[in-house]
Structure 1
Amino acid sequence: MNFHQLHIFHTVAERGSFSSAAQMLHMTQPAVTMQVQALEDYFGTKLLIRGSKKIELTEAGKTLIPYAQRSIDIMREADVAMSSFTHMLQGRLQLGASLTIGEYVLPRLLGPFGQQYPQINIVMKVMNTAQIIDDICKHQLNFGLIEAPIHHPDMVVDVVMKDELKLIVPADHPLAQQDVVDLKDVVQYPFVLREQGSGTRQVMEDQFINKGINLEQLKVVMELGSTGAVKSAVEAGLGITMLSPSSVKHEIALGIVKMIDIKDVAFRRQFYAIHLKSTLLPISAVTFLTFLRQQT
């Protein structure tokens, strides 16, 4: 018995078929079948019932499943524990990042990471969450970084960084004269927002609802598909918005916009790393995620 066999058995049981498990594991179906049979031979008992529609666990298989899960968890924990010691890593790390993370958060961190691990070549695609999930399932990305939690049966979702949205207004806006404003005053002004479904907008709307604000009464004059477009519209005086401070550092330094706190409201959110349950991340990916967690 070895970890590889337990990992394959767990994936077959989770997916309910050898063909689906083979696709997830990037293996041939006969190879998956052979490894499960080897595990059954080792224990001298059947672990799976091969039905016409879906594979089911025998009593022995049900007993083995939690041990297989623990072995996977231990391997992941070992990778995290050892990641701080592996300074001679090399290879190609492919990841996907949603817009705010990919355009504004990661660029300032890639330099320090590259200095610490110069042999790791990072290839980052900036795309929406649905595209990231699709590419991970196709094994085109090692993992993804997204702005809102997802519920996907094949994905591991872990918190990796924290963030907080702030009110952003043009420098000559009436609210710009204050450092802290009341929410009831904020909602009187026109908003320029990210599109419906974006992580940034969802965090803002959730907090507004929690504070008793009727979203239908908001004066949303423009919905835009990127943070850059939202910033440009705010700079032009078309409205106010809620954005991550990391995305407006340059504009604040130049005095183009102002960042303001809203009294008694915190627009906190988390960034998440996602990857396939059936795939153990390479140590280079674990090291990169550990590095990100240490930055916040």
Structure 2
Amino acid sequence: MNFHQLHIFYTVSERGSFSAAAQTLHMTQPAVTMQVQALEDYFGIKLFNRSTKKISLSEAGRTLMPYALRSIQLMRETDQAMSAFTHMLEGRLQLGASLTIGEYVLPRMLGPFAKQNPHISIMMKVMNTAQIMDEILKHQLNFGLIEAPVSHPDMVMEPVMGDELKLIVPAGHPLAQRQPVTLADALEYPFVLREQGSGTRSVMEEELLARGLDPGAMRIVMELGSTGAVKSAVEAELGITIISASSVKHEVALGLLKIVDLADASFKRQYYSIHLKSTLLPISAVTFLTFLREHAAYH
């Protein structure tokens, strides 16, 4: 049991539904349901009576409610008592972002966010998912934005925005003149890919397997540790690739690379936020995540 779960339980009761609580907490409804179920599992009893039209507190839930309210009030009093010591950090947001998000997605969104929220300053570290999780656990980051789902007993993960990987070829490549092409067409050519274990590589391989294709049968001529290096290799006509469409907008506009549509595959994925279960996100983080969700669209 943790404060985060009690806060969610209290909000569901106050709002009268899981969906309304999810909106208030800026979470998804399945995540709210999962946290309430975890609290019910901890006590070994149902806290809500559920029906198709509404929910209501069970006897156990009514017993828990005043304790949940007291915990929330105590947390607020604690924040007020400590505010004198943390005033200088007000509005300062520290986050970690994995490579594609930090290098290609967020930079275009930080400008509009700063105009709407000039009182919030952002410090962003671009690093891999393991490093982000480590710094969150050490309380060095408020939260992180990552490209693939992870599981950690001390962390909450929520979908934030979508992305789509696309087949990327040099402007003069034979496939650049054909729209759309099939996966079989693309697999006839050599590939330059992100390294094994990267979020981009994992999404691509999962889709191939879902289509009954063996990723190991691809003719991979080069594996590189950054999207920028992959793009440079494709520009040099060393091979073709499958990477985030949001990462090649500049090169496509300059006519250096071309996005080729696939007729029989779609490489869509979610980006996720992660933070500690035991820590309430500061208002600056909630504001930023709300902004991202409101502006989310496949890039």
Tell me the TM-score range normalised by the shorter chain: 0.7 to 0.9
SS state of the match for residue 163, structure 1? strand
Residues 111-169 of structure 1 show CA distances to partners (whole Å, capped at 9, x for unaligned) of 00000001111000000000000000000000000000001101100000001111000
Corresponding position of 1:232: 232
CA shift at 1:217, angstroms?
1.0
CA shift at 1:265, angstroms?
1.0
SS state of the match for residue 180, structure 1? coil
Corresponding position of 1:138: 138
Correspondence 1:223 to 2:191: no
Alignment-mate amino acid for residue 96 of structure 2? G
Alignment-mate amino acid for residue 252 of structure 2? I
2:169–2:239: 8 Å Cα contact kept in structure 1? yes
Distance verdict in 2 for CA 1:151–1:114, change over 3 Å: same
Correspondence 1:262 to 2:262: yes
Distance verdict in 2 for CA 1:111–1:66, change over 3 Å: farther
Distance verdict in 2 for CA 1:257–1:129, change over 3 Å: same
SS state of the match for residue 189, structure 1? coil
CA shift at 1:91, angstroms?
1.7
2:136–2:142: 8 Å Cα contact kept in structure 1? yes
Distance verdict in 2 for CA 1:116–1:90, change over 3 Å: farther
SS state of the match for residue 205, structure 2? helix
Distance verdict in 2 for CA 1:71–1:279, change over 3 Å: farther
CA shift at 1:90, angstroms?
5.0
In structure 2, C-alpha distance between the alignment counterparts of 1:103 and 1:236, rounded to whole Å: 21
Corresponding position of 1:210: 210
Correspondence 1:122 to 2:122: yes
Corresponding position of 2:102: 102
Alignment-mate amino acid for residue 272 of structure 2? Y
1:90–1:121: 8 Å Cα contact kept in structure 2? no
Q: 1:138-287 to 2 correspondence within 5 Å?
A: 138-287=138-287
Kindly name which structure, 1 or 2, has the bigger radius of gyration based on alpha carbons: 1
Alignment-mate amino acid for residue 216 of structure 2? E
In structure 1, C-alpha distance between the alignment counterparts of 2:287 and 2:119, rounded to whole Å: 13
In structure 2, C-alpha distance between the alignment counterparts of 1:118 and 1:169, rounded to whole Å: 40
1:98–1:127: 8 Å Cα contact kept in structure 2? yes
Corresponding position of 1:7: 3
TM (norm. structure 1) is 0.72
Corresponding position of 2:29: none
Percent identity of equivalent pairs: 65
In structure 2, C-alpha distance between the alignment counterparts of 1:157 and 1:266, rounded to whole Å: 24
CA shift at 1:276, angstroms?
0.2
Distance verdict in 2 for CA 1:128–1:66, change over 3 Å: farther
1:165–1:244: 8 Å Cα contact kept in structure 2? yes
Alignment-mate amino acid for residue 289 of structure 1? L
Alignment-mate amino acid for residue 94 of structure 2? Q
SS state of the match for residue 192, structure 2? strand
Alignment-mate amino acid for residue 202 of structure 1? S
Gaps of 5+ in 2: 7-41, 48-59, 74-88
Gaps of 5+ in 1: 11-56, 76-88
In structure 2, C-alpha distance between the alignment counterparts of 1:68 and 1:136, rounded to whole Å: 31
SS state of the match for residue 250, structure 2? helix
Q: 1:65-84 to 2 correspondence within 5 Å?
A: none
Distance verdict in 2 for CA 1:6–1:169, change over 3 Å: closer
In structure 1, C-alpha distance between the alignment counterparts of 2:118 and 2:211, rounded to whole Å: 47
SS state of the match for residue 158, structure 1? strand
